[in-house]
Amino acid sequence: MNVDLSNDFKTKYKKLMGDRADSLFAAIETKSRNSFRINPLKPNYKNVAVDLSEPIPYSNVGYFGDIDGKSIDHLAGYLYSQEPSAMYVAEVLDPVGKVLDLCAAPGSKSTYIATEMDNQGLLVTNEINNKRSRVLSSNIERMGIQNAIVTNNSPKDFENKFEGYFDRILVDAPCSGEGMFRKDPESVKYWSLDYVEQCANRQRHILDSAFKLLKPGGILVYSTCTFSPEENEENIDYFLNQYPEMQMAEIKKYAGMEDGIPSWGNDNQELKKALRMFPDRFDGEGHFICKMVKAGEVTKSHEKNISNGIGKDEVNLVEKFSKANLNTLSQNNWFKVSDFLYQAASLDNRFKSIHVLRNGLKLGEFKKNRFEPDIAWILAIEPNVLKSIFELNDDQFETYMHGESIILKTDSNIGNKWLGLSYQGKLFSWGRYSNNQIKNVYPKGLRR
C-alpha cells in the first residue's frame, strides 16, 4: 500500500511526536481492518450470514470482518459497515432523551445512536450538505429507525428555536481527515496546513452553536477522524475557556486507546480526559473523542404541537388499507406532509422553522382515493403486524430485485392486495398481489 504523505505532514508530526512519528507513518502505509455492526432494531438481528466470531470489545454490536453490500442482510438493514474507531463515539455519548447529531452524513454514527436509543426519545440527525443529507435519510430508512428527524440545515439555523433543547449533542466535526489516510489515500491530495486551519476555524463555529443548543446538565461529545492538535486539543481548550460552564468528563479507555495530549492544547491538563486512537497502537483508524458536561440545572422544555394535517377521508383510507392487510394499526403521532403520511418522531412546532427531510417513519402516500404503503414502513414493521408475508426463493428474489413481477404458477389464495416480501427470513419490501402475480413496487433506485 502506498500513501503519498506530503513533506509538510511528515515535518509537522516529526516535530510533534518525535521518534514515534515514524511508527505512525508506517501504520498509515498498512492495510486497515474492516468492521461492521449488527442492528438490534431488527427481529432476530443476530441471524445474519456473516462471521460474528470477533466482536469489538468496546462496542455492543460491532464486529471485525467484511460484509457484502448487495446481500439481503445489508439491503434489509441488518448490517452496517463502519470503521472500528468510529463505533466508540455512540457508546461514549450514551444517548437518552432529545439527541442531536449535528454533522451526521452519511449516518454511521446516527444509526448507531438510534440502535442505542431503541426507538425511544428523539434523535435529530442533521447534515448541512443537501446531497449528503439525502444519503443520510436513506440510511436512517434502511435501518428501520422510527424516532429520527432528518434535517438539512447549518448548525446556526437551530439557534433561534432550539436553545437549551437537547440532552445530548454529538459534533462529529468535518475535519482534515488525517486519521483516514490509509483507508482513503485520495484524501491525502486535499490535505494542506492551510486546510487544517480552515477546518479548525469551522469546527469552532459548530461548537459555539452546540453550546447554545445543549441543555444545562446535558452532554456534548466532540469527535474527529484527524490527528491535528489544531482540530482537537486546541479547539477543546478554546471551547472550555470560552464557555466555563463546560466541564470535561472521563471516558473509559480500552486497550490501545490513549489520553488526549495536554501539550497540544496550551498544557490544559483536563485534556487528558479526552481520548485518542492512533493506528500504530490501536486496531482502527485515527480518531479523537472528547466528552463534556454543561453545568447547571436540567430544565423542562415546553412544547407546542402542530396540527397533523390529516382529514377524516384520509384516515378512512389508511384504516381501509389496514383492515385488508394488517393485524393491528397504531395511530400515534400521524402527520401528513404533502401527500405523504408519517408516524412523526415529534410534532413540536419548532421543527417548522428548519428544513426537515424526514420526520419519523414514512408510512405511505395518498394516491387517487387509495393509500399505498412506503418501503420505510416495511423496513421498520414487526412481522406479526402483517396479515401475509411471502417468502421468496433465490430465483424469485433475483427476479424481484431486477424490477420484475413474481408470477405464481398456481393460485396461492393470498387474498390480500398488499403483503410483506421476505428473503432468508428478512422483510425487505412490500409486494402487491393481483391476478396470481406479485407486482413489483420496489423503489427503482434500489433495484439491480
CA torsion through residues 39, 131, 236, 11, sign: positive
pLDDT of residue 296: 86
pLDDT tens per residue, range 90-112: 999 999 999 999 999 999 999 99
Q: Is 383 annotated as a binding residue?
A: no
Question: CA–CA separation, 384 vs 259, rounded Å?
Answer: 48
pLDDT of residue 305: 86
Pairing of strands 418-423, 389-392: parallel
pLDDT of residue 301: 67
348 DSSP β-pair partners: 305
Question: CA–CA separation, 112 vs 59, rounded Å?
Answer: 10
pLDDT of residue 197: 98
Residues 157 and 209: beta-carbon distance below 8 Å: no
Residues 69 and 134: beta-carbon distance below 8 Å: no
Within a 10 A sphere around the Cβ of 55, how many other Cβ atoms?
12
**How many residues are given for the chain?**
448
Q: Is 107 annotated as a binding residue?
A: yes
Q: Is 172 annotated as a binding residue?
A: yes
Pairing of strands 166-172, 62-64: unpaired
Q: Is 106 annotated as a binding residue?
A: yes
Q: Which residues contact 82 (CB under 8 A, 6 or more apart)?
A: 35, 36, 37, 62, 108, 112
Burial (CB < 10 A; 0-12, 13-18, 19+), residue 290, is buried
Question: CA–CA separation, 126 vs 150, rounded Å?
Answer: 6
pLDDT tens per residue, range 234-248: 999 999 999 999 999
Q: Which domains does the chain have, with CATH numbers?
A: 7-294 (3.40.50.150), 388-448 (3.10.450.720)
Residue where the block lists cell 472528547: 290
pLDDT of residue 413: 64
| 225 catalytic per annotation | yes
pLDDT of residue 441: 95
Residue where the block lists cell 435519510: 137
- Side by side, the strands of the sheet bearing 62-64 are 62-64, 35-38, 79-81
pLDDT of residue 306: 82
Q: Which residues contact 194 (CB under 8 A, 6 or more apart)?
A: none
Q: Is 104 annotated as a binding residue?
A: yes
**Phi first, then psi: what are they for 255, rounded to 5°?**
-55, 130
Q: Is 109 annotated as a binding residue?
A: yes
Within a 10 A sphere around the Cβ of 365, how many other Cβ atoms?
14
Residue ranges for the chain with pLDDT beneath 50: none
Closest Cα partner for 5 from 184, 185, 175?
A: 185
State the catalytic residue, choosing from 175, 199, 225, 290.
Answer: 225
